Structure 1
C-alpha cells in the first residue's frame, strides 16, 4: 500500500523522502544508528531499514552501543553489531528515531565519518543536524516513516521487515492506545498484514515475554509511588539498589510509567531512574491536557506532547522533589 508523504513544516533544512531514497539507492554501504536505551520503535525501524537495504544489495548494519532488551531481541538476528569498524568508510550513516548526536555519543565520531549523514525521526523537539533530515512530528512512530520510505523506494516489504515495522509502531503507540495513533497508523498496519506478518507472534515477544524478576522490580518500584497536585500527578523511581534486591534489570522498567498514567485522575505520570548517585533519567507521560515536551525543555530534554524525557544531574530523591515542584507549577498554570 502506498502512503502519501506528509509535508514538512519544521525547517527549510528538512528534505524529502525521495531525496533520502536517491542517496540510499546510490550508496554501497550504510550504517544505521538507533539511540541508546533502545526502544521498540528505534530498533524495529533500524532493523527493518537494514533488512530492506540488504535486500537490494547494500552492505548494511545497525551499529549499537548498549544491550538490547530481552523483549526486543527477536529482531536482532545478524543485523546488530557493536563493532565500530564493521564498515570502515560508510557511504551513508543514518540515525533512526534520534534527535541529537548525544543520544549515540559513543558512536558519534563514526556517524560523522559517513560521506553523507541522514536523520530520520518523529520527535517534536528534534532540530535538523545531519546532511539530510526528515523529521515528521505527525508520525506516530519512526516506523511509519520507514514504511513510507521503503514504499517510495519500491522495495517489497516481506514478512521479516513487516514484523520489525509492526513492533516499531505497536510499541510507540502503546499497542495502538496512545493519542498519537491515527487513521494513517492503522492504514500502515493494514498494509503490513498484507505483507504476511504474524502479529500474534510479535505481540507475544513484546508483551508476554516477561521475566519474574521484572514483576518483582515493578512491585518494589511502586512502593515509592507518590500522588501529588491533588491527585493529578504521580511519580515513582527505580534505583540500583532495587535492581540488586530483586534481580531485575534497568531495561525491564519499560512500561512502568504506564501503570502510573493508568491511575484514575492522574494527568501526568513521572518515572525517575537512577543512572549514578548524581544523575537521574526522567520519563514523563500525560493523558490529555499537559504538554510534557514543554516541561522537559526546562531541563534540556525533549520528546512529544504526551511522552517526553530529560536527564537531571542529581540523585533520585532530589530529582523526584524537583519534578514534583515543576509539575505542580505547570498544572497550576
Structure 2
C-alpha cells in the first residue's frame, strides 16, 4: 500500500506534518499519531496545526512534546486528510513550494497536489491509513499512538455506524482496544458529552429547519450571531450537522453556516443512496460519498437552498 512512500519517509530526518483547516478528529488523530510514531524511530517531527480545531476531539489527542522546528529546516512535508491544497489554508503556499512533499488521504474527491501521494477512498479514515502505514513500516503501535488512531477511526465513522467502515476497520479498532485504548471514554467524550450551550444552539437551529424536495432533504442555517447568542464556538458544535439526516424520510441533509465575511459553508450528509461528493464537487467542493461540503459567496441562503434542491431533484428524476 505504501511501498513508494516508505523509502521517502525513512530517508527524511526532519518532518513537517500538516492537515486541513478546522481539523477534526481524523485530521488531528492521524497527524499526532504520525508524529508520535515517527518520533519513536528517531525522526524530528512537528505538527503545524491550523486554528479552530474540533473541540471535542482536540482534548482527546495525545500530542507529545512540542519541539522548535521550522518548515525551512524540514526535509519532508506531509499533508494528511487533505482533499486538495486549498484545504491547507495558510500553509498551502509553503507546502506547495516545498521540494519534497507527500499527501496521504482517503477522500474520493482528492486532487493531487503533493510530489508523491497515496489515496485510498475506500478506507474509512486517514487514521486507518496510518494504522496500515505503521504496520508496513514495522513501527510498534503503543497505547498513545493507538489512542490517536482510535479517535480518528471513531469520529470519522460516526462511532462505527457509517457505511465507510469495513471488517479491517473493526479489526484495527479491536487491536487498539486490546492495547488498552480507553474506547469507552473516547466515545463518551466525542459523542455523548455536550455543554448546555450546544443544546441552546440546537434549539435555534431546529427553529430554522427547512424541508425541501418533498421531504427527502432538509437544511439548517446558522450564522455567527446564533453561535454568539448560544454562547458556543463553531468548533464545539460539530454534531449539529447530523440533525437534518435524523429526520424520518430525509435522505440528504445540509448544514449551512454563514461566516462573518459573507461566505457560506455548506456541509452535506446523505443516508443511503445519494452521492453528495458529486454535488459538492459540482460546486467547487468535495469530500466523501456520504459526507461532503463546499463554500459559497455572492448568494443568499435562500438561493443556496434552492440551488441545492434543484441539484437533488435532478438526481431523483434520474
CA–CA distance in 2 between the matches of 1:126 and 1:107?
A: 18
TM-score by length of 2: 0.94
Deviations 1:114-162 (A, max 9, x none): 3410000011111222111100011011111110000111010011110
Q: Contact conserved, 2:19 with 2:31, CA < 8 A, in 1?
A: yes
CA–CA distance in 2 between the matches of 1:47 and 1:80?
A: 11
Q: Which of 41, 51, 54 lines up with 1:66 in the alignment?
A: 51
Deviations 1:43-98 (A, max 9, x none): 111110111011111110110221223212221535679x8x63432111111000
Residues 1-333 of structure 1 mapped to structure 2, 5 A cutoff: 5=1, 17-74=2-59, 75=61, 77-78=63-64, 86-276=70-260, 278-313=262-297, 314-333=299-318
Q: Secondary structure in 2 aligned to 1:19?
A: coil
Q: CA deviation at 1:277?
A: 5.0
Please provide the CA RMSD for this pair: 1.8
Deviations 1:280-320 (A, max 9, x none): 01111111111111111220111111111111113434323
Q: CA deviation at 1:214?
A: 1.4
- Stretches of structure 1 lacking an aligned partner (at least 5 in a row): 6-16
TM-score by length of 1: 0.90
Q: Secondary structure in 1 aligned to 2:269?
A: strand
CA–CA distance in 2 between the matches of 1:114 and 1:91?
A: 9
Greater CA drift, 85-94 or 154-163: 85-94
Q: CA deviation at 1:18?
A: 2.1
Q: Secondary structure in 2 aligned to 1:242?
A: helix
Aligned residue pairs: how many? 316
Instruction: Say which structure is richer in helix.
Output: 2
CA–CA distance in 1 between the matches of 2:172 and 2:204?
A: 38
Q: Contact conserved, 1:236 with 1:272, CA < 8 A, in 2?
A: yes
CA–CA distance in 2 between the matches of 1:251 and 1:317?
A: 25
Q: Contact conserved, 1:290 with 1:306, CA < 8 A, in 2?
A: yes
Q: Secondary structure in 2 aligned to 1:107?
A: helix
CA–CA distance in 2 between the matches of 1:315 and 1:62?
A: 37
CA–CA distance in 2 between the matches of 1:68 and 1:129?
A: 23
- Stretches of structure 2 lacking an aligned partner (at least 5 in a row): none
Deviations 1:241-289 (A, max 9, x none): 1012111111223121222111111111111011235310111111111
CA–CA distance in 2 between the matches of 1:279 and 1:76?
A: 33
